[in-house]
Structures are given as C-alpha cells and as structure tokens.
Structure 1
C-alpha cells in the first residue's frame, strides 16, 4: 500500500510541468523604474478590445509617467488565428528594436482586419512574407531581418515563456491589467483617459 502511494505521488510530481522562468523581466517597460506604481498591461495584437484601450491608455501614461510605470506583455489568444505569429514579429521588434515597438503595436492595432478577416487562406510562407512587409511599413526595420527572425525558434520560445508567465498570474484574456502585481479586473473596462483617471483615483 505504502509503495503504491509513493508511486502515485512520484507520477504526479513528474506529470506537473515546471513553469519556465523568463530570462529577463517579462514585457517591455515604459517610464521610470523609480515610479511608485506599476501597471502591467496584457494585450493581444489582434484583440479589438486591446486596440480600443491602447490610445487612451498611452495618452494617460504619457501625462503621468512621473509616477506611473507601464509594462506591456503580449498574450496571444488562441482563437485569433495568426495572433501568435504576429506576436513573434512583435517580440523580435521588442527585443532588437525596442524604440520601434510602440509603432509596431499601434500599426497592427489599426490594421487588425487584414489578419483577422482576409488572412485565413495564407500558408506560413505567405504569412511570414506579409508580416515582414508590414513590420517594415510599421517600424522601418528591413523586410529581410523580420523574415529571418520569424524562422528562428528563439522568438517562438520566448513568446511561449511570456504566455505561460501571464497565465501563471491568472491572466485569461485581453485586455487585462495588474497594479503593483495585483490583478485589477475593473481596469479592463477602461478606454478613455477619463476612465483611467477615475480608475486610479479610486485606488489612492
């Protein structure tokens, strides 16, 4: 009996997947590390709710960056067919050209329909070609560099680790937010600058 229990416990231990630890702080950070408030933002490039929230959030952060640090995490949703591949291109820009990431994010938010509606017939080669072309349009980063990056396993793995990090924090969709490490479901309804002002006023 005791041996059976030990066997079951051992099997359960090995069955559990170890949470991978990001090689560096996850996400791309905006603002000073000295700010006393950190807003973690979980977006999907192809989520219309994320696209709707972004302009007001960025404007609010721009006016309050003396005290507010913003960290954007990309959390590709499985029901957005090409979301993970767009996220890989974004991870490449975030890693190699961080100053261009805002332009990348804004461009893809504005052109979601291309990847949501018209792209269902693309194979992987066509998808990568379109992503590399659109990344160049959005950021100025040469087509060939993005195309090469999309064929590397490193950005695929990095985005998977980031996704698992978000899931470990209880993130289930986008847009979702955490303030100083605490999930704040009420923030998911914020769209305008006034919404964000009211939200933070209610906290402090």
Structure 2
C-alpha cells in the first residue's frame, strides 16, 4: 500500500537496502528456529502451489486483498498452500505493535492468529496514525490487548501481557520485517507464487486475477497471461 501524498516506496527501498548492507558488513542476521510467517494451510502434495503473502494488518490494501485470496483458497482446496508473513510498513505508526500482537497470538494459540488478523482488518481504522496521534504507546498496546482477548480468550490475558514484555516477540517481529526486506518486499500486499514475486504485488488482487494466475499452473485454461517479475 502507498498512502496518498507520501513517497513511501523510495523510503522502503532505502530501509531494505540499508538492512541488506548492514547484514553484509556486520554480523549475520539471526536465523529463526522455524520459517517465518503464519501457516494458513500447507499441503503435502508436490502438486500443491505455494502462495506467500506479505500483509500489514493496518494496511487497507492488505485488508482488501484478503477476501478474494480466501475465496481462491476455498475454490482450489488442497491444490493451494498459503503462508502469510507480517510486514510492518514504517509509515503506519502502529503496525509493528499489531504484527507483534499476531506473533504473540500465534505463540499462545495458533488457531487464533488468522481470526486476530481479520479482527485487525475490521478495526484497523482505529489504529491509523491520525486517530492515535495523542495516544501513548502503552495505551495503544493496552487497546490491542483488549482486542486480542476477544479472539484468544480471557484465560490467555496474562500470557498476552507477558508476550508484550517478552523480548523474544519483539525480536521475532523484527526478523519478519528483515525477512521481507531480504526478499525485496516494498509494500503490502506483496505476493509470491511458488517463490516468484507477482508483478501485481502492492495492490489487492481480485478473485478473477487469482484464477488467471493459478489456472495455467494447474494446466487449466486461462484467458490472461501470468503476471510475474522476470
């Protein structure tokens, strides 16, 4: 997503390449114990197509991209796998906290990760820059904890609070951002299909577009060509 009036792409390019430069001149970026992202569905079949989506939970374009992608996942059933990587856009002031909340929910109960993502999409306007301009960081975190409890459950409140105090969840959220940078992600939503980035990334893809991308990979007829970066 690119906000009107902001030159966000050059900024993100600078951040990404600076990150990569630092990786090369300093120490190795910590390698996580498991692959980054939240598994929505993975299929063991070698014929399954892997989609990776980079979403910012406070990005309107990420929000709009999710329903048609879910529709495609339902249509293709076990022929599609999906992993969503949280990617906090730097010009969304509260995105890092929201991405951290997703990691915490995933640690506490991974069945609540996607319901929480959808809840952020539903209420994301409350966390935009302007409405939270006069709120402290602690107040924003407290507000998000109350939102998390709605899907993770009241019994998990202490674990959620502890998660925001745990340095590990902060580092994991940073790793997610660095991982996106390492794959040259410059905005959200950003999509990879079988490891290749889509040319149409950065904007929501409708269901028809997903059909035009996936059908040829499954040997089915499509009237539109594939849209990959080459």
| Other-structure match for 1:198 | 212
- Counterparts of 2:72 and 2:23, CA distance in 1: 46
State the TM-score, normalized to the length of structure 2: 0.77
Displacement of 1:13 in angstroms is 9.4
Is residue 48 of structure 2 the alignment partner of residue 34 of structure 1?
Answer: no
RMSD: 2.1
Query: Could you list the runs of 5+ residues in structure 2 that have no partner in the other structure?
Result: 1-21, 220-230
- Counterpart-to-counterpart distance in 2, 1:150 and 1:186: 35
CA deviation after TM superposition for structure 1 residue 19, in Å = 2.9
Is 1:143 aligned to 2:153, yes or no? Answer: no
1:103 corresponds in structure 2 to: 115
Structure (1 or 2) with the larger CA radius of gyration: 1
Match of 1:8 in 2: none
Corresponding residue number in structure 2 for 1:24:
34
Question: CA-to-partner distance for each residue in 1:49-81, whole Å, 9 max, x for gaps?
Answer: 000001111121122231110000000011000
Residue 123 of structure 1: CA displacement? 1.1
- Classify the secondary structure of the residue corresponding to 2:200: helix
Secondary structure at 1:80 match in 2: coil
The answer to which of 59-68 and 183-192 deviates more is 183-192
Q: Tell me what 1:64 maps to.
A: 76
Note if 1:134 corresponds to 2:147. Answer: yes
Secondary structure in structure 2 of the residue aligned to 1:65: helix
TM-score, normalized by length of structure 1?
0.86
Write out per-residue CA displacement over residues 99-154 of structure 1, whole angstroms, 9 at most, x where no aligned residue: 11111010100111100042222212211210110111243253332222111111
How many residues align structurally? 193
